[in-house]
Structure 1
Amino acid sequence: MADAVEDLIQLLNLEQIEVNLFRGHSPDSSWQRVFGGQVIGQALVAAYRTVEDRVCHSLHAYFIRPGDPKIPIVYEVDRSRDGKSFTTRRVVAIQHGKQIFNLAASFQTPEKGFEHQSTMPDVPQPEDLPSERELRRAIEGQLPEAIQKHFARPRPIEIRPVNPQHYIDPAPMEPVQHVWVRARKEIGNDIALNQCILAYASDMTLLDTCVRPHGVSWVSGKLQSASLDHAMWFHQPFNVNEWMLYTQDSPSASGARGLNRGSIYTRDGRLVASVAQEGLIRYHG
């Protein structure tokens, strides 16, 4: 699992091929399309490579086409503005000569200001919960071989759901879930790297929230789902090696789309990031 973290760090270590132009790759374990969190993380890395002494406070992104895991992704950065306090960047991800994703990110010189935050939900601690791997072990042999292999691959982010839903035959549940997350290996205190890894992780489990009330599993083949857009706000510094609670809810689903919101807290209750995403959820077949 530690190797999976190293692989993620290398995945985020983009190759610069020209001024404002970077190239990223996908892991060999990619399944049918590039994982959305990978593209978010890589695009944020590309933006950071053109910024000095400022920290990302927000990003807004659209997924335009499915990413092809077999070929590199080219990231083109537009240096939109460098102001006295804020820097803005726009990043376009390209494959096969077409845009597959775009991201706008804003960076700020750190400064003091007003402070308040919402309260972290009172939930069981991660040590008291089964791991995702333990939950999946209970359904070994019940899944198609390709999906079983996908589940069994090493993952850089450890996940411990507080209120898990059955993978194969889920009963309808409230569109709320709480998930503890952390990186499986020490990565240090670099703010940019921590943000990029959390951006990667923020696309995990979030879209599932709006499907929970409908009692359908994506492994059943009856559901077509995909992230459509993704927004994230970074409020305070954090370290992804420490357990963080990713609390999620879905206020609405309609028109084959579901809206999901997330709040990410450190274990001591600091709200360090907020997330919002709309995704496609459509009956398939």
Structure 2
Amino acid sequence: MSATTVSPALGALLGRLDLVADGPDRFVSSGDHEGVVRLFGGQVAAQALAAAGRTVAPGRHVHSLHVSFLRPGDLHAPLRLDVTRLKEGRAYDVRRVDVTQQDALVLTATASFHVDEPGPEWSQGAAADWDGTAPADVDDVDALPRWEEQFAGRLDRLSPLWRRSRPMDLRYVGTPPPLDDDLAPGSRCAQRVYVRADGPLPDDELMHACLLVYATDASLLETAVLPQGVVWADGAFEGASLDHGLWFHQPPRADGWLRLDQRAVALGGGRGTAAGRLVDAEGRLVVTVVQEGSLRPVHGDTWMAGR
């Protein structure tokens, strides 16, 4: 299990997920948002799921979330989250969440909830690695250094994006891309990290799912650019999330270690795509995630590493 005290960053995120009701199927969040220059999309995506989940009956569990990021968000303006009930069925409920800020639509999401039904079970969680360039697994996750320890003494040479406090305890297996002096085009296209909440959590399945939405938005596009031999936020390109899709296969728990295997899928047309799998300690596949982002070169038509 994670630490017995909630880190300040985790406490702040849990507060942001505690949305304030502002009428039927409408919620608001204050202007105290996470981000560096602009609002962090993972926060808003997690809040969208929190809003959707507040409108379904107990016993219905999120099984998929599809998010479209439409425009950058402001760090200081409040958010309004409007939920539309697209379907209320015998076994499935579907919700659309439109998130606006200063009368501009910044994100729209569709979440589907399901009453668990009996059936066969299988997953590829414990199957062979997707890609041979991913580091080998470890026996003792707690022995891995926290990301703050790995990056100590190097943060001054990295983008402010890497210096912000994180609500998730993130531990890389192997060398993190920003610290990999041997990173070159074609040298790697996958990475493995372990994640868990940086402190105890309430026994609220929706809250755990929201935290995993947040966590999977933190490093997927970092993985998408690995085949090019560049580092996310190193000045080679301007990047932003476009689409984020998650499928929940097991009841999510964010307060224990989850292995996040990530691999690049494609680069082209000014976009990059990466996929990931969250696997629990029992080897069960908990979440499958795919993300696409906009990747615009800063230096003409090529990416020049800015490290």
- Structure 2 length normalisation: TM-score? 0.86
**1:109 aligns to what?**
115
Q: Percent of aligned pairs with the same residue?
A: 35
Look up the match of 1:77: 83
Which residue does the alignment assign to 1:213? 227
2: CA distance, partners of 1:200 / 1:139: 25
Q: Structure 1 CA distance, aligned partners of 2:16 and 2:31? A: 7
**Are 2:74 and 1:59 equivalent residues in the alignment?**
no
Partner of 1:99: 105
Corresponding residue to 1:44 among 37, 41, 49? 49
Separation in 1, partners of 2:89, 2:33:
40
1:123 to 137, 148, 168: 137
C-alpha displacement at 1:58, in angstroms? 0.4
The 3 A distance-change label for structure 1 pair 236 and 28 is closer
CA gap 1:80/1:29 in 2 versus in 1, 3 angstroms? closer
Alignment equivalent of 1:162, drawn from 149, 166, 173: 173
Q: CA deviation at 1:282?
A: 1.9
- Name the stretch that deviates more: 123-132 or 2-11: 123-132
Distance 1:176 1:143, change over 3 A: closer
Partner residue, 1:5: 10
1:197-243 C-alpha deviation (Å, 9 max, x unpaired):
11111101111111111122344322211110000011111321101
Query: What code does the residue aligned with 1:171 have?
Result: L
1:234-253 matches, within 5 Å, as 234-253=248-267
> SS where residue 118 of structure 1 aligns?
coil
When residues 26 and 37 of structure 1 are mapped into structure 2, their CA distance, relative to the original with a 3 A threshold, is farther
Deviations 1:44-85 (CA, angstroms, capped at 9, x unpaired): 011011111211100111000011111011111101110000
Residue 240 of structure 2 corresponds to residue 226 of structure 1: yes
1:185-224 aligned within 5 A: 185-224=199-238
Q: What is the one-letter code of the residue matched to 2:29? A: G
Distance 2:200 2:43 in 1: 19
RMSD: 1.8
Structure 2 residue aligned with 1:16: 21
Q: Distance in 2 between matches of 1:33 and 1:154?
A: 15
**Alpha carbons 1:216, 1:223 under 8 Å: kept:** no
Q: Secondary structure at the match of 1:220?
A: coil
Asked whether 1:271 is paired with 2:281, we answer no
- Cα contact 1:170–1:217 (8 A) shared by 2: no
Provide, for residues 73-116 of structure 1, a one-character-per-residue CA deviation record: whole Å limited to 9, x for no partner: 11111011100000010000111212111000110112221211
Change in 2 beyond 3 A, CA 1:166/1:199: closer
- Asked whether the equivalents of residues 59 and 104 of structure 1 are also in contact (C-alpha less than 8 Å), the reply is yes
* Alignment partners' CA distance in 1, 2:170 and 2:71: 27
Report what 1:177 is aligned to. 191
Secondary structure of the 2:157 match is coil
Residues 58 and 106 in structure 1, CA contact (< 8 A), matched pair in contact too: yes
TM-score using structure 1 length: 0.92
Once the two structures are TM-superposed, the CA of residue 263 in structure 1 deviates from its matched residue by 0.6
Cα deviation, 1:9-41, whole Å, max 9, x if unaligned, reads 101011111111111235465311111110110
Aligned residue pairs: how many? 281
Instruction: State the alpha-carbon separation in 2 of the partners of residues 129 and 236 from structure 1.
Output: 26
**Higher mean displacement: 169-178 or 157-166:** 169-178
Amino acid at match of 1:36: G
Deviations 1:225-268 (A, max 9, x none): 11100000111113211010011111211101111111100122
1:26 to 1:272, Cα distance in 2 relative to 1, 3 A? farther
